[in-house]
Structure 1
Amino acid sequence: MTATNDLLNRYAEALLGVFGRPALVLDRGEGCYVWDVDGVRYLDLLGGIAVSALGHNHPELVAAVSKQVASQIHISNFFTSRAQIELAERLLSLAEAPAGSRVFLTNSGTESLEAAIKLARRTGRRGILAMAGAFHGRSTGALALTAKAAYREPFEPLLPGVRHIPYDDLDALEAALGPDVGAVVLEPIQGEAGVIEPHPGYLAGVRELTRRRGALMIVDEVQTGVGRTGDWFAFQAAGIRPDAMTLAKGLGGGVPIGALVTFGPEVSAMLQPGMHGSTFGGNPLAAAAALAVLDTIERDGLLANATAMGHYFAEAVAALRHPAISGTRGRGLLRAVTFERPIAAVVATQARDAGFIINPVAPDAIRLAPPLIIGRPEVDAFVSALGPIADRAIEEMS
């Protein structure tokens, strides 16, 4: 029995089976690569689902976390720390937030969405519009905004007042945006739905409609934020400013942290002392990690690298002219490869056997969200293997 099989058997006896049986037991990482407990190396093209922004074992992140652990890990929310204050200031600066904007630090994207829901309720209107295809988290509040029926139905009734409308459809939004709606919550690019990017002008249209109707525009940047799309935050490419945004995933480079950012004094004043809180949110360890991630992305030009490598990847896949591959979509280093047939799950398994970690995000699409440090050699290695992988997947399904 391999070390992997032994540990997975122990996993099955010790952990709740909500994730099914994991495919691998990973042991360590370096850069864009990870190794399992049997010593097999994989090119990590998923990055912990858009989390490992700096890759694995990055020296700047390791140094920052090690230094903070030796100084202070936790202090409770009765107090604050230099790292917490500096991180909030940095996020407001990167978001080009106006005076009066504020940050609430959390431990995850789901918690960030829960804070956003409270913000929406503080408008005095009970309605929230979310999008078909949306994914916002698994807690009962965030789950109410998540569209997938299989996630929602076992736990209904959920938060009342939430309606789902078609994504990338301004007419549908205008029709639904009545006086009962306090907020519209949406992803600038839908990740879990298959890396779906709306048409140019959609986000600007949402901003105009919500402002006209007096509703908040809340953007979920949990997956798209922190440089993933080539901008610090995906909404910036649309030339707009939302009322609030949620962050997590790549912000800590693997250390759990999230945030709700409110834009302007009116929105920021909606949550007053005692209305929300978090025991671990904004702890010194996570804040120090996030600062190291932001510093490294800026210093090493990783926004530009995300844009350049995303374009390079899309062009390389197109150059394959493989009959089973219908195209790519996405922006920066949040990408999907689409297929002519529903072979994505088998492609992902074949890719893993060949040493690549990817995600079958839809029956006919795989998702890639690699570390922002990825370079041409890693992209070339995967693209050169993609055609044969697709061929084997088709053969297996025939």
Structure 2
Amino acid sequence: MTDASNASAGRPQLAEPHLGAVLASAGLDAEYVRAEGNHLYQRGEDGREVAVVDYAGGYGSLLLGHNHPAITAYAQELLQSGVPVHAQFSLHPEAAELALALDGIVRRETGDTEPFFAVFANTGAEANEAALKHAEMDRGMRLGALLDSVRSGFDAVRDAVRDGSATVPAEVFARFGVDAPGPAALDMLIGRLAAHNEEQAGRPPVFLTPEGSFHGKLAGTVQLTHNEGYRAPFRALAAQARFVPLDRPGTLRKIVDEERATLFGLVLEDGRVRLSEHEAPVVCAFVLEPIQGEGGIRELSAEFVQEIQDVCAEIGAPVVVDEIQSGMGRTGDFLASTRLGLRGDYYTLAKSLGGGLAKISVLLVRASRYRGEFELVHSSTFAKDGFSNRVALKVLELLEADGGAAYRKAAELGDRLLAMLGAVREDFPEVVKDVRGRGLILGLEFHDQSGAPVPAIAEAARAGLFGYLVAGHLLRGHRVRTFPTASAPETLRFEPSILLSDDDIAWLETALRDTCDIVRGGYRRPLALPAG
């Protein structure tokens, strides 16, 4: 029920009233009474159900469709059996089974020989937040070990100089402004080196991520979301990110060089003291989506991915692959990153992992990177519950059945849907700028319509609302449900389930052709929007 309808009934709208008003203004204030397969159902004025083709797909959460019968039946069976949902701080064999299943699939697909440990969470943003926290804990422990090693070197040099078995060259003292060699001068030198090191070690961590990224809206993850409108109000709350351009080779290395921090140590060599330099870990991690979802359905290039992996290997920073929207088979592979040659140190998965019913996500961490201590400082009341883990196991069973038939279906349907979108673009080149994506995560980008011949369309485009105007028309005029991507509002997303039919694709084509005809001013009927 919208804000207006509540007000007319004398009932205040207290659940996100501002958002409700925004939905109403775009004609997206729909209420759905049932969901099945690739469709949602509204109640018509005559009381009968009206089907809406769902191309939003729960923002990618519904690869297997709404209320998949096998998952729904299994969920009912679990609840009726009294499965313990809340049994925190105890053994969870179903979580261990799910972790093994995920590890096996990821290693099979990537060819990796190392196991991946699992940290479970509830949402994609929470899994990404856990990844940031784990990466920072790892960075802090590596930095602490480096500082301890440097301090041990100071102690060894001090002892060697005092017992006369080593000397410090004058140039070492001179480099740090210490004039006279001797025991007191050595203490002064070590003091200055230690102060420098503490200053450098105290620099805040920096996360790297591509321009256009979206990794959630929690306190930490929102700082890795490129859209400044989401990020700026909370800038002071968390570690900052540097955004790397997608199409400028060499920029990543330049950014890393700007962030370098050097610690100085002293080492003994043949009775002489030498200055040593050690790079402190400032870059905490590189976090990326192989196909940017909210950034406009943009796939990273294999060349950019290789540069990321090379640079991160040089500085010892982990690569965190956010597969929350693109993973779980949506592209035709379990991981969208596989075909890019991308091998992550961390992976995050969510959305379709819960089969459209359970709220579950997971962080997978490479064994050589994993810090077991993290398990004692990070937890969640609703993570790793008996119900969600079992549902996720059922989802993996369905995806893996018949040799991965679900993956092949996603690829096949994606090719057909992409071909249809491409045909629309060819026929309306002045309206549609680009069509892109892979499998069942596709985007259709419109040209800037701020100069469109239809005044209402031009005005919406200038206000940054064109994509929502189109989405409202598709819903009201054609019973097609989709939305613009969050940080690229000129791009419509198409993330249906593998239950998508030929009729669904044909229905969308008719709707898009009608919309494009209106936008270019060649059709008399206006966009179907709410009155007023």
Whether the 8 Å contact between 2:224 and 2:240 is mirrored in structure 1 is no
Q: Structure 2: which 5+ residue stretches go unaligned?
A: 24-28, 144-204, 261-281, 450-465, 528-532
Which amino acid in 2 is paired with 1:172? T
- Residue identity opposite 1:175 in structure 2: K
| Residue matched to 2:407 | 303
Of 344, 347, 352, 2:467 maps to 344
The CA deviation at 1:206 is 1.2
| Alpha-carbon contact 1:309-1:376 (below 8 Å) kept | no
Task: Supply the distance in 1 between the matched residues of 2:3 and 2:206 (Cα, whole angstroms).
Answer: 48
Match of 2:328 in 1: 226
1:119–1:271 contact (8 Å) kept in structure 2: no
Q: 1:60 aligns with which of 63, 70, 95?
A: 70
Q: Give 1:98 deviation, angstroms.
A: 3.5
The residue aligned with 2:364 is 261
CA distance in 2, matches of 1:145, 1:338: 23
Alpha-carbon offset, residue 271 of structure 1: 4.2
Tell me how far 1:93 sits from its aligned partner: 0.9
Flag the 1:381–1:17 CA change in 2: closer, same or farther, 3 A: same
Residues in 2 aligned to 1:138 and 1:9: alpha-carbon distance in whole angstroms: 33
Which residue of the partner structure matches residue 459 of structure 2? none
Aligned CA distance change for structure 1 residues 372 and 4 (closer, same or farther; 3 Å): farther
Q: Does 1:383 align with 2:509?
A: yes
Whether 1:291 and 2:393 are equivalent positions in the alignment is yes
Change (3 A) 1:340 1:156: closer
Structure-1 residue corresponding to 2:118: 103
Q: 1:356 aligns with which of 480, 489, 493?
A: 480
Q: Which amino acid is the alignment partner of residue 236 of structure 1? A: T
Corresponding letter in the other structure for 1:260:
L
Q: Is the alpha carbon distance of 1:273 and 1:325 closer, same or farther for their aligned partners in structure 2, counting shifts above 3 Å? A: closer
| Structure 1 residues 195 and 273: alpha-carbon distance in aligned structure 2, compared to 1, 3 A threshold | closer
User: What does 1:9-24 align with in structure 2 at a 5 Å threshold?
Assistant: 13-17=13-17, 19-21=19-21, 22=23, 23-24=29-30
CA distance in 2 between counterparts of 1:169 and 1:288 reads 44
Equivalent in 24, 27, 32 of residue 33 of structure 2: 27
Amino acid at match of 1:15: A
Shift of 1:6: 4.2
Shift of 1:316: 1.6
1:387 & 1:216 partners in 2: Cα distance? Answer: 45
AA matched with 1:79: S
Q: Does structure 2 conserve the Cα–Cα contact (< 8 Å) formed by 1:110 and 1:136?
A: yes
CA apart distance, 1:95: 0.7
Match of 1:36 in 2: 42
Letter of the 1:220 partner, please give it. Answer: D
**How has the CA–CA distance of structure 1 residues 271 and 250 changed in structure 2, closer, same or farther, with 3 Å as cutoff?**
farther
Q: Does 1:205 align with 2:269?
A: no
Q: Distance in 2 between matches of 1:299 and 1:286?
A: 20
* 1:170–1:206 CA contact under 8 A, matched in 2: no
Corresponding residue for residue 74 of structure 1 = 85
Q: What does the per-residue CA deviation read over 1:207-249, in whole Å, with 9 as the maximum and x for residues that have no partner?
A: 1221122111001111111011111011111233211011111
Q: 1:127 Cα deviation (Å)?
A: 2.0
**RMSD over equivalenced CA pairs, Å:** 2.4
Aligned residue in 1 for 2:417: 313
Q: Distance in 2 between matches of 1:18 and 1:206?
A: 40
- Structure 1 residue 18: deviation in Å? 6.1
Superposed CA deviations along residues 255-287 of structure 1, whole A, max 9, x for unmatched, are: 211110001x22113644412111111111111
What is the CA–CA distance in structure 2 between the aligned matches of 1:31 and 1:5, rounded to whole Å?
A: 31
- Decide which moves more: 228-237 or 172-181: 172-181
Q: CA deviation at 1:162?
A: 2.5
Specify the SS of the correspondent of 2:377.
coil
2:471 counterpart letter in structure 1: A
Correspondent of 1:86 among 87, 97, 102? 97
Contact in 1 for aligned 2:444/2:491 (Cα 8 Å): yes
TM-score, normalising length from structure 2? 0.70
Shift of 1:198: 1.8
- Cα deviations across residues 357-377 of structure 1 (Å, max 9, x unaligned)? 011223432111111332323
Distance 1:319 1:394, change over 3 A: closer
How far is the alpha carbon of 1:8 from its aligned partner?
Answer: 9.0
Equivalents in 2 of 1:59, 1:195: separation in Å?
30
- The separation in 2 between residues aligned to 1:140 and 1:18, in whole angstroms, is 22
Conservation of the 8 A alpha-carbon contact between 1:81 and 1:284: yes
Once structures 1 and 2 are overlaid, which stretch shifts more, 102-111 or 371-380? Answer: 371-380
Q: Counterparts of 2:123 and 2:95 in 1: how far apart (Å)? A: 16
Give the 3-state SS of the residue equivalent to 1:335 in structure 2. Answer: strand
TM-score normalised per structure 1: 0.92
